[in-house]
Structure 1
Amino acid sequence: MALSEHEQRLLDQLEQQLHADDPKFAHSMASNTGRSMSTRRIVLGSLVTVAGLAVLLLGIWNQFIPVGVAGFLIMGAGVYYATTRSKVDGAAPGAGKVAKASSSPRGSFLSSLEEKWDERKRDQP
C-alpha cells in the first residue's frame, strides 16, 4: 500500500529528526545492503568444521567418547563462527553515555511526534 504525499513528507521529517536526535540508533536501524557476511569468516568456519568432523570420526573410530564429543563441539563452533557476522563498531561501552546524553532531546522528539499525530488526526475527515 503506497503512502500519500502528506504521509511521505511526515515520514521524511520523522527520519530527519531521528537522525538529528540519535544518529547512532538511526545508523543501526538503517538498512545496509552493502554489508554482507565475510568470506574470510565463512572459509575459516568451514575449515574448523571439517577439522571438527575429522576429530569426531577419529573419536568414533578409536571408540573414545571424549574425543568424539570434542570433535562435535569443534564442528559446532566452526558452524557458529561461519554463520555469524563480526561486530563492526565496538561501541557497546559508550551506549549508556549516549542514552543519558540524549534523554532531554528525546522528550522534544516525542512531543513533536505527538503534535504531528494530533495535527494529522485534525486534518482527517
Structure 2
Amino acid sequence: MPLSEHEQRMLEQMERALYAEDPKFATALEGSGLRTYTRRRVYQAVAGIVVGIALLMTGVIVPNVLWVSVVGFLVMLGCTLLAVTGWRKAPKPGEQPVSGSAGGSAHGRNRQRRSMMNRIEERWQRRRDEQGH
C-alpha cells in the first residue's frame, strides 16, 4: 500500500532532519552495501540452482548418465547453502560488507563476545558488591 502525500512529506522531512543531524550515520543507513551484497548472493544462488536443475533433468532424460543427476543435485544443494550462509553473513544496516577472508569477521565476533562477557562480569561484580554492603 503506497504512502499518502502527508506520510511521504513527513518521511522526507525526517530524512532531511537525519541527514542534517548526522550525515555519516544517515549514509550508513542507506544500506547500499547490504542491498548489493545480498542481491549478488541471491543472483548467484538462483543461477546455480537453475544450472543444477538443468543438470538434474539432463541426467534423468539421457540414459546411462545418472551421475549427471547426482552432480546437478549437489550443485543445487551447494547453491542453497551459499544463499543461506550469504544471507546470514550479510552486513547489518550501517555496517560495511566484510571484504577479504572470513578471519576478519571471526575476529569481530570474538571482540563482541569478549565485550559481552566483560559487561556480564561487570554486572555480576556490581551485584556482588551491592549484596555485600
TM-score (norm 2): 0.46
TM-score for the superposition, normalised by structure 1 = 0.48
The structure with more helix, counted as a fraction of residues: 2
